[in-house]
Amino acid sequence: MIKAAVLGATGYAGAELVRLLAGHPDAEIAYLASHSYAGRRFSDIYPGMRGVVDTVLSEDSIEKASECADVIFLALPAGLASSSVTPEILSHSAVIDLGADFRLHDKDTYEKWYKTEHHSPELLAQAVYGLPEIHRRSIAGKRLVANPGCYTTCSILTLYPLLKHGLIRKDTIIIDAKSGTSGAGRSEKVTSLFCEVDESIKPYGVASHRHTPEIEQELSEAAGEEVVVQFTPHLVPMNRGILSTCYARLKDGVTEADVAAAYGIYDGEPFIRIIDTLPETRYVKGSNTVDISYRIDGRTGNIIAMGAIDNLVKGAAGQAVQNMNIIFSLEETTGLSVGAGSPF
């Protein structure tokens, strides 16, 4: 059995991770920590887990976690992972960081977008970007995995085949993405209150959202040259889910058959469905699945590629478990749902 530790276990992503690990046939929870709720039972914070996970929460300590865990999941605010992960920790435990500290290859880019110091830039070269459908071979056996962000997972996977096969003009990419409120985290914020969110939709982080350089980094690698995108996220009044609608101009002569062949790169991927209908977040809710569809507008010459995920599963905890499965040579789908939590 893989012994797992979760730091930041009572945030939304952390709690979803605990739920998935509790049902994983090849893993057991060895250590749960929460700065806000240390000393209380996990099931006191999330009563739906009574009798399932009644573990008493510890104070966040990656050192203590490394003494008892084969893998440590970090669901912590930006800056904390880079100040706590060390070569010694990695010699004891694999680390999967659900935060942003090891996602970007360049320290200066990280500090510019996240407005905080990166405390262990020497580890950036050791970290692998944990998007399995693209970096599966690099993840296997790795000790430090940077779990991708939710907007980025959806947007990158939706656009990746088009750039990998050189089908779109890289200077025309616009990403219009929408997320449920759980993406903002569990901490108290006026902008996340029910009365502030319900019956409304709003853009935020316009031309400044932190996931932008992460998307550009991975799409640039796919294209083999620098890619700059226009990314605008929106908050919608639902609990969970992300829908990314991506626009780009097709290169001259590109046909629908070319596009279909490009998306064939995902054939056999257990968590990606290329669908004929338009994606909806309700059909991936609770699952680790990505639904992707596209339409070509013959009038404008644009392609509209659309992707939907559950931001807390494929966009966070589910992908983290998928990465754990790869690291420890388990079947990738172990402990994860490939169908929605509800059929409607």
- The residues that are catalytic are 150
Torsion of CA 156, 159, 160, 162, to 10 degrees: -170
Please report, for residues 14, 184, 302, the alpha-carbon distance to residue 17 in angstroms, rounded to integers and kept in the order given.
Answer: 5, 17, 38
Here the tokens at position 26 are 């090849």
CB burial of residue 226 (10 Å; 0-12, 13-18, 19+): exposed
Torsion of CA 145, 151, 153, 159, to 10 degrees: -140
Rg (C-alpha) for the chain, rounded Å, is 19
- Of 268, 257, 233, 249, residue with least CA distance to 159: 249
Here the tokens at position 10 are 């009572």
